[in-house]
Structure 1
Amino acid sequence: MTPLPHPSRRTLLGLAAATPLAASGVLALGAGTAHAADAAYVMAYFTESTNLGDGTDYGLHLAVSTDGLNWTPLNQNNPVVTPTQGAGGLRDPFVLRKQDGTFVVLATDLKGTDWSYNSQYIHVWNSADLRTFTGYHRLKLHDMVTHSWAPEAFWDAGRGRYAVIYSAVDSSGHNVIMVNYTTDFVTASAPQVFFDPGYDVIDGDMAVGVNGVNYLYFKRNGTLVGARSTSLNPGSFTPFTQGVAQGGTEAPTLVKSLTSGTWWLWGDTYTPNGVFYAWATTDLAAGTWTAVDQRTYTQPVNSKHCGITPITAAQYTGLLAHWGAPVWNRLKSYNFPARHVRHSGFAGRIDTYPVEPYKDSLWKPVPGLADASGVSFQSVNYPTRYLRHADYAVRLDVNDGTPAFAADATFHRTAGLADASWSSFRSHNNPARYLRHYGYALRVDPVSTVTERQDATFKVGY
């Protein structure tokens, strides 16, 4: 079998502003039915840098969000648990809230990008709270000489069992979506073909019971396509949408807003590597999607092939308290939202995500070196260096301990000049000037025009 190309699945000073917990609602989601108490989301993913170097980790990573769009990585974006069997790594993790309110985590048994590695198993963990993980094992799904990619699960009420869907090559010679049924994720029924439209498909993601209709989104030829059925029977789904894509896109993830009628469709690109895009609709039945403004969402750094599940406010708070939020931030450009502040050759600039090496775009905000009510930006990978201006150009220089350096490296955070919900940074020793980009290079300049205000506006996040 020849695999599809790159077939992955998916505080200082209050700098990372808190988002109010969302109101709740009862919703049907691919990762299980949302409950009335749900007010936030958890994202499961693995990490992979563009060169498979620093920032690549094939363990289970988690992030949380109150709005489903902006994410706080947990455990400093390090894994919370790592497989010890099979390939010793995972891809494409998925979190399901089971009928008893506890969670099960499923993932592809694959470490790295050896697409010739065929595993008949998937990784499984149980968890009461996503803080501790128990009962780790692998679940065997088939005896075929093929993979078991991108496992997900949903509750099939008619059968009284969970359905585990995944991608595998069957006797047709191309990838189809298979299904096995289980009550305990320890043993499973024999595999069946769940969805075979006659061409290669991988990365199935479900939304179950939406106004009496079930939706399956999948990857076809680098696009995300939807199928639907009024039943959950294998073979009953029919494609009904045009493909949605941004470059080569895979790993569709359907997410329902907890506060409105909006649905989001997340997709993960493999060209360039690992960039998430989001589309929105208020009518899932129509199957038409509109690209979401990149200003409104930010993915965890180096994240790949995510799964998103609703959680309660208490679970959200518990996860943050247990695993902790990052000690670093990223700064996103307002008028070039695909770009983040980074250093390159010790010069400050904004560059398109993903940044390589990725730590060039991570900043530890500390109390201002010249005024503790301000902020200075300490480099994560060069901790003796700080962003400072010299002749109004912004550089990453070693702190020499002088008052002049401290003043050059201190900024005062204000409401965003182009959007008050974002942030701008006024120079401490040149208070008529603000941190801004010009030709993608960072400077401190006077700001007066609409464009200059946009250049000087940033989102502080992760």
Structure 2
Amino acid sequence: MPAFLARLAAILVAACLLFTSQTLTTPDRAAAADPGYLMVHFTGEGSTNQQMYLSHSTDGLHWNDLNGGGMVLRSTVGTKGVRDPAFVRSPAGDKYWIIATDLCISCGQNWDTAQNNGSRNLVVWESSDLVTWSKPWLLNVAGAIPDGRNAWAPEAIWDPETNDYVLYWATNATLDGVLKHRIYYARTSDFRTITTPQLYIDRPGDQGIIDTQIIEVPSGVGNYRYVRASGDGQITLEGSNSILGTWTRLGDLSGIGLTGSQVEGPMWMKFNNSNQWALYLDQYASSGGYMPVLTTDPSNPAAYQKQASSSYNMGGTKKRHGWILNLTAAEESRVLARWPNTAINRLQSYNYQDRYVRHTNFDVRIDPNVSPADDARFRLRTGLAGDGTVSFESVNFPGYFLRHSNYDFQLVYNDGTAQFAEDASFRQVAGLADSSWSSFQSYNHPDRYIRHYAYYLKLDPITTTTGRSDATFNVTS
């Protein structure tokens, strides 16, 4: 009897362990010292929402908006709107790109135009540190596709078989008499030139497909090296052992009540130090933004589990189709230092108190009744040159700072050079005309101050009463 009981107890323990291994639990919040996650996304329709935004999470489920919820990059090319961004990190971690759809709905384009006569370009930014980004450029990916009418939802993945990137996206085109969205691909090493686009994924009949995202799965998890999720009427999962090889349909998420009529924009994320993944899905039909479903095996549709709304928090802004990057500690430190929730301010003139510093066509002056209002709004950042200085970054053109050149001021994109940092940095001192206000002394020309002259901003030495009044400003909300 004792031996039987011992065997029975062992069986019960084994059964409990098996059950526990099959039960998916929400990952614990990462320790404060662990690096977190960075999401790039857009937030909705309109010219300001269809730009680049960043959010940060320590655990992959609770997100905080960076930059006070404001945009971090603005497209000044193509349609001047961007959606569906993706991060690309080089294998060496020394270069980064953001690639995005060149599209601005409700600001010059509607959906019919976007699908049938839209931009054939992608918008691309490049960085060497994840915080200082190049100006955007256009990459024509669909122009060589017969009857190619647009280029949407780009993604890229490093292919170790050829030591370059497989760049893929959706294009609406006519093939074999059928007009619909299909996934095309090309190879690239620099996101400036590509090989001739080729058909990558096609669905039977008139079923279109968009929003494909591929992840590499570690050895020992499932039966495939790569898993991709796509929007094709369902959220379809497929597996392969080669990016451009044969793919096998694994199933979809209809078993947990999620179909392509409800959700889109699948976005993968692997939890750090854990064999768990989140597949974020954009609840576009209900305007609900992103929600995560969790799994321990991306290749097994039956392993996905919905999460209670109380188990995650997407932050203050709505997250639309984007991409999540697992940060290193160094990357996280740089990102959080670059985009803290710095207050938004205006600079009010001391002697023309109905006028505020504003940019117009990238020139800088003081004006009353500024429209749009964001032209007169700046974030007083920690100075690019450091040493107790401040720099003025535009709210509606992030990455652009007030900079002097030949003692004149313009709003200029930060090129990351030491000269730019010095020209765009100032010491905030007691107002020259009123100590309760502020004046701004040049970092690299300390005998000169920001002042207005004939309403335009200049960098001048101040020697007169009028000059002291012109060089005095109120930092106000």
TM-score, reference length from structure 1: 0.59
Out of 193, 197, 202, the position equivalent to 2:203 is 197
Q: Does 1:46 align with 2:42?
A: yes
Shift of 1:274: 4.3
Partner of 1:180: 186
Question: Does structure 2 retain, via aligned residues, the 8 Å contact 1:148–1:168?
Answer: yes
RMSD: 2.2
Question: Does structure 2 retain, via aligned residues, the 8 Å contact 1:151–1:165?
Answer: yes
3-state secondary structure, aligned to 2:332: helix
Partner of 1:155: 158
Out of 299, 308, 312, the position equivalent to 2:328 is 312
Shift of 1:22: 6.7
State the number of aligned residues: 290
3-state secondary structure, aligned to 1:317: helix
Q: Which amino acid aligns with 1:156?
A: D
Shift of 1:83: 0.8
Partner of 1:279: 293
Deviations 1:335-367 (A, max 9, x none): xxxxxxxxxxxxxxxxxxxxxxxxxxxxxxxxx
3-state secondary structure, aligned to 1:284: coil
Deviations 1:287-322 (A, max 9, x none): 221102222211131221121111112221221122
Distance in 1 (CA, whole Å) between partners of 2:200 and 2:33 is 35
Partner of 2:102: 109
Distance in 1 (CA, whole Å) between partners of 2:249 and 2:180 is 17
In structure 2, the CA distance between the partners of 1:195 and 1:286, relative to structure 1 (3 Å rule), is same
Question: Does structure 2 retain, via aligned residues, the 8 Å contact 1:255–1:308?
Answer: yes
In structure 2, the CA distance between the partners of 1:124 and 1:317, relative to structure 1 (3 Å rule), is same
Deviations 1:40-95 (A, max 9, x none): 111001112xxx57x95111111111211111111111111111111001001111
Q: Does 1:220 align with 2:209?
A: no
Question: Does structure 1 retain, via aligned residues, the 8 Å contact 2:142–2:171?
Answer: no
Q: Does 1:323 align with 2:353?
A: no
3-state secondary structure, aligned to 1:134: coil
In structure 2, the CA distance between the partners of 1:197 and 1:69, relative to structure 1 (3 Å rule), is same
Question: Does structure 2 retain, via aligned residues, the 8 Å contact 1:77–1:326?
Answer: no
Partner of 2:31: 20
Question: Does structure 2 retain, via aligned residues, the 8 Å contact 1:22–1:40?
Answer: no
Structure 1 gap segments, 5+ residues each? 1-17, 24-38, 329-462
Bigger CA drift: 167-176 or 180-189? 167-176
Out of 91, 99, 114, the position equivalent to 2:83 is 91
Q: Which amino acid aligns with 1:232?
A: I
Distance in 2 (CA, whole Å) between partners of 1:76 and 1:112 is 24
Q: Does 1:239 align with 2:232?
A: no
3-state secondary structure, aligned to 2:91: coil
Question: Does structure 2 retain, via aligned residues, the 8 Å contact 1:72–1:325?
Answer: no
Q: Does 1:263 align with 2:277?
A: yes
In structure 2, the CA distance between the partners of 1:274 and 1:46, relative to structure 1 (3 Å rule), is farther
Distance in 1 (CA, whole Å) between partners of 2:77 and 2:286 is 31
3-state secondary structure, aligned to 1:169: strand
Distance in 2 (CA, whole Å) between partners of 1:89 and 1:284 is 32
Question: Does structure 2 retain, via aligned residues, the 8 Å contact 1:22–1:258?
Answer: no
Q: Structure 1 residue runs of 4+, over 3 Å off? A: 325-328
3-state secondary structure, aligned to 1:106: strand
Identity of aligned residues (%): 28
Out of 318, 324, 342, the position equivalent to 1:302 is 318
Partner of 1:292: 307
TM-score, reference length from structure 2: 0.57
* Superposition pairs of residues 363-402 of structure 1, within 5 angstroms: none
Greater length-normalized contact order (CA 8 Å, ≥ 6 residues apart) = 1
Structure 2 gap segments, 5+ residues each? 1-28, 345-477
Partner of 1:395: none
The structure in which a higher percent of residues are helix is 2
Shift of 1:142: 2.3
The structure in which a higher percent of residues are strand is 1
